[in-house]
Structure 1
C-alpha cells in the first residue's frame, strides 16, 4: 500500500497541541513528575498489538516533540504500511518524563487513525477486481475531519466532500423542501459556478430517471438492493458518476461493487471504526534489568 502525502504541519500542530493541553491540565503529569527522577532517560517502542494499516505517525511525533524537542523518534514503518501483530512501528528515546507525558495523546491519535485506515483497507480489498472505489463521508469527529480523511487515504480509500462548500449534494431533505427532484436540480444548476459539480440522492429508479433527464454530474443511489443498483447503472449508462451508499460492510461490498458502480460511500469507517491497538513498550536491557537510554 502506498504512503499518502503527509498533512501540512500547520494543520496537525494545533490539533495535537490542543490535545496535549487537554491532557496535561493545570498541573502537568503529576504521576511521572513524582515517580520518575528528573534526569532519567528511556527508549520506548511503538508496537502493534494486532495486524492492520498504520496512519497518524506524524501526529504521534508531534505529541512527543511538542513536549520535548530533543526526543528522538525513528519511524520504522510509514503511514499506509500493513503491519503484523507484535511488529515495531517506531521507537522514541529521550527524557522519560516527557515521553510518558506525551504517551496517551500520541497513542490516541495513532490508534484512532490506524483503525480508520485498517477498516478502509479491508473494504478496498473486498472490492478488489472491480472499478468501484471506497469513499468516506462527512460523518467525522468534529474538528478531526482532515485527520480522519487522511487516514482513509492511508487505507487506500478516496475522499468524498471535505465540507458543504466542496460541491452540491442534493439529498432527500433538500428535495422534500424544494418540492421535487427536478425543481431542486434546476435551482442548483442555476446557482452553481462553472467549477461546482452537482450530485443528487435518489431512492428509486423513477427518481433516477428524472435526475438523468434533468442533468446531474453524479447520482447517489441510496439503500438500493443489488438488483436495483444493477438496473440503475444500466440506466445511467455512463452519463453520470454512480455512487452506492447505505449499509455497506466488508460482506456486502463485493456484490455491490459487481453491479458496476463507480463509488461506494461508507460512513462507518470514520464514525465507528474500531481502533487499532498499539502500545508504547519500554525497551529493557534484560541483562541489566533497566531501561535503555
Structure 2
C-alpha cells in the first residue's frame, strides 16, 4: 500500500493548538518541579494492542515542537501492523520536554491508530469482494483531514471531504425540492463539468426514479441485503452503488457480497476505539 504523508504545514497548527491547550497559562507544573532541567532520557512508544499505526508524524511533531533537541527514530511507519509489545518509535533527549509532550503525542497517535485499525478490520472482512470501505463526513470537528488520512492508512478509501467536493442529494433535499426529479434537475444546472452527483434512495422505487435521471452514484440507505442485491442488478453498472447505514463488522461481508461498489461506514471516524499505545522509559541518565 502506498500512503502519502500529510504535509507538515497541515499538521503543525493542529499539534500546536493541542499543546497550547495542555500547557495552559503556566506550563507543565508537575514535570518542571520534579525533573531536573538537564536530565536526559530515552523512551519508546510501545503498542499495547495489535493494530495498525497512523499518526506517527503528529506524535513526533509534538515532541519536536516542545523541544527541537529531542531526537526520534521511527520503527513502524503509518500503515504498519503491530502486535502487543512492539516498539513503534524511540525518543531521546531532554526528559522534561518528553514528559510535557507525552499526552499530546499519544492522543493523536492512539486516536488515529484506532481509526486505522477499525478500517483495517472492515477491509479484511470484505476481502474477495469488489466493495471498497469508505469513510464519511462524520468526523470530529477540526480533525477531518487526519481521520480520513487514518482511514487510508488502514486500507480504506475516502468519501467526499466536505460539502464542496460533490453534490450528494439526501432525503431532506428531496423532501424540500418536492421529489427526486426536481432535486436532480436543479443540481445538474449548478454542477460544473468535474462535479459528480449522487442521490440517496431508501427504496427500490426511489432507485428506479433516480436511475431515469442518470446520476453518477446512488446511495442505498439502510436497505436490506435482499434489496441491496436487487438494487445492484437494477443499476447494472450505470452508476456507482454505495451501501450505507448501521454497518458493522458482523454485517459488512454479507453486504459486500451483494455486489455494491462502496460501503460507507461513519463509525470508523466518529467512534472507533483508540489503539492502546504507551510511552515507556528505556534508559534514564542524568546530566549528559
Scaled by the length of structure 1, what TM-score is found? 0.97
- Give distance in 2, aligned partners of 1:185 and 1:5: 35
* Matched residue, 1:278: 277
C-alpha displacement of 1:144: 0.5
1:114-156: per-residue Cα shift (whole Å, max 9, x none)? 0000000000000000010000000000000000000000000
- Give distance in 1, aligned partners of 2:188 and 2:210: 12
- Does the residue aligned with 1:134 lie in a helix, a strand or coil? strand
- Does the residue aligned with 1:214 lie in a helix, a strand or coil? coil
After TM superposition, where is structure 1 displaced by more than 3 Å over at least 4 residues in a row?
Answer: 290-293
| 1:234 to 2:233 alignment | yes
Q: State the number of aligned residues.
A: 288
* Matched residue, 1:10: 9
| 1:214 to 2:229 alignment | no
Paired residues of 1:124 and 1:133 also in contact (CA < 8 A): yes
* Matched residue, 2:156: 157
C-alpha displacement of 1:191: 1.0
1:211-263: per-residue Cα shift (whole Å, max 9, x none)? 00011000000000000000000000000000000111111000000000000
Scaled by the length of structure 2, what TM-score is found? 0.98
| 1:182 to 2:181 alignment | yes
- Does the residue aligned with 1:115 lie in a helix, a strand or coil? helix
CA RMSD of aligned residues (A): 1.2
C-alpha displacement of 1:292: 11
* Matched residue, 1:25: 24
Cα separation, partners in 2 of 1:282 and 1:83, compared to 1, 3 Å:
same
- Give distance in 2, aligned partners of 1:248 and 1:90: 34
C-alpha displacement of 1:4: 1.4
**Aligned 1:124-143 pairs, distance under 5 A:** 124-143=123-142
- Give distance in 2, aligned partners of 1:292 and 1:278: 29
* Matched residue, 1:203: 202
* Matched residue, 1:64: 63
